[in-house]
């Protein structure tokens, strides 16, 4: 009976599934050891004022360098979420982000950029998350109100009721919340208003091509109008050219992030750019307290 299906066909089918599983397993095993093997690092992509390009924040982006070569977070994060490996890794990222907040504040005081950190839905599902974050905040001395947690729209909306309770506990700590990749999920607007959200990060799919067509501009107008109506701060992702910057400015999207302004940077580069900017504009390096 097996022969009816053709031997090669079956083999191909089985092998590709097996291969996929093997690939996942090796990534998962690698990720479990990544922290102690010192294979993780962070990049910081500036978030800027649309109008002036002034840096107001930095998004923390995880990098993994296993011995086989660097792997993109677009590949390993979804697997880490599936297997739960994201929980200890996310905790490591949050601790490093808190240390970064303290570092930047010690350099620039109240003028320091805020620190934006990605949080996965899988972390939100952990009862111990709040306790973990509380002790990390305490141990590092980070100012919670200078940290922004980014959660993708898709994962937020997947389980609003369960997430809501957790999000309230996080905002009670003073942490701020952003909806990441906004526009790619299917938010019901009434659900969105229930969430204690401060910032909408407009997915780069909506920024892509706004300079090219009337339709794309109509969409960005609708999305920015919605954000404003809800009283949210707007950040456009993936801004790659000056025409897009101009369009976003015309639609009163106050903040931007993208290769046109800055790539994700190493910590030292990030610090150099903020310093250079402050020297240029004469902004206070230290807040008078």
Give the residues lining the site for ligand C2E (CB under 6 A): 45, 61-62, 72-74, 77, 86, 90, 93, 118, 120, 150, 180-181, 204, 237-240, 257-259, 264
**Bridge partners for 172 per DSSP:** none
CA 98 to chain centre: 15
- Binding flag, residue 101, Mg ion (CB under 5 A): no
Alpha helix (H) residue ranges in the chain: 7-34, 73-83, 86-108, 121-124, 129-140, 153-158, 160-172, 189-194, 204-207, 214-229, 242-250, 267-281
Nearer to Mg ion, 30 or 183 (CB): 183
Query: Which string of x and - marks every residue 134-173 that binds Mg ion (by CB under 5 A)?
Result: ----------------x-----------------------
Q: In a 10 Å sphere around its CB, with 0-12 CB exposed, 13-18 middle and 19+ buried, how is residue 138 labelled?
A: exposed
- Binding flag, residue 118, Mg ion (CB under 5 A): yes
CB of residue 42 to ligand C2E, shortest distance in Å? 8
Nearer to Mg ion, 41 or 286 (CB): 41
Count of residues of this chain found to bind Mg ion when the rule CB under 5 A is applied:
5
**Residue whose entry in the numeric block shows the structure tokens 């659900």:** 191
CB of residue 266 to ligand C2E, shortest distance in Å? 13
CB of residue 29 to ligand C2E, shortest distance in Å? 19
Q: How many CB atoms lie within 10 A of CB 80?
A: 25
- For Mg ion, the binding residues (CB under 5 A) are 118, 150, 180-181, 237
């Amino acid at each position: 009976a097996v022969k009816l299906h053709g031997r090669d066909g079956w083999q191909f089918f089985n092998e590709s599934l097996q291969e996929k599983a093997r690939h996942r397993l090796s990534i998962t095993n690698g990720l479990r050891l990544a922290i102690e093997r010192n294979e993780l690092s962070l990049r910081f992509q500036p978030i800027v004022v649309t109008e002036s390009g002034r840096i107001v924040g930095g998004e923390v982006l995880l990098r993994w360098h296993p011995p086989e070569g660097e792997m993109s977070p677009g590949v390993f994060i979804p697997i880490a979420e599936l297997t739960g490996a994201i929980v200890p890794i996310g905790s490591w990222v949050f601790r490093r982000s808190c240390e970064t907040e303290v570092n930047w504040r010690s350099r620039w005081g109240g003028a320091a950029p805020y620190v934006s950190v990605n949080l996965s839905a899988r972390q939100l599902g952990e009862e111990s998350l709040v306790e973990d974050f509380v002790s990390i905040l305490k141990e590092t001395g980070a100012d919670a109100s200078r940290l922004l947690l980014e959660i993708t729209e898709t994962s937020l909306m997947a389980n609003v009721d369960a997430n809501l309770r957790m999000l309230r506990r996080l905002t009670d700590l003073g942490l701020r919340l952003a909806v990441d990749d906004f526009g790619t999920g299917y938010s019901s607007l009434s659900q969105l208003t229930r969430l204690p959200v401060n910032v909408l990060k407009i997915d780069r799919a909506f920024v892509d091509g706004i300079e090219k067509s009337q339709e794309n501009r109509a969409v960005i107008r609708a999305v920015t109008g919605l954000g404003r109506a809800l009283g949210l701060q707007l950040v456009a992702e993936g801004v790659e050219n000056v025409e897009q910057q101009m369009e976003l400015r015309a639609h009163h999207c106050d903040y931007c992030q993208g290769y046109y302004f800055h790539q994700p940077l190493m910590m030292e580069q990030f610090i150099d750019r903020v310093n250079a900017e402050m020297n240029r504009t004469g902004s206070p390096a230290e807040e008078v307290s």
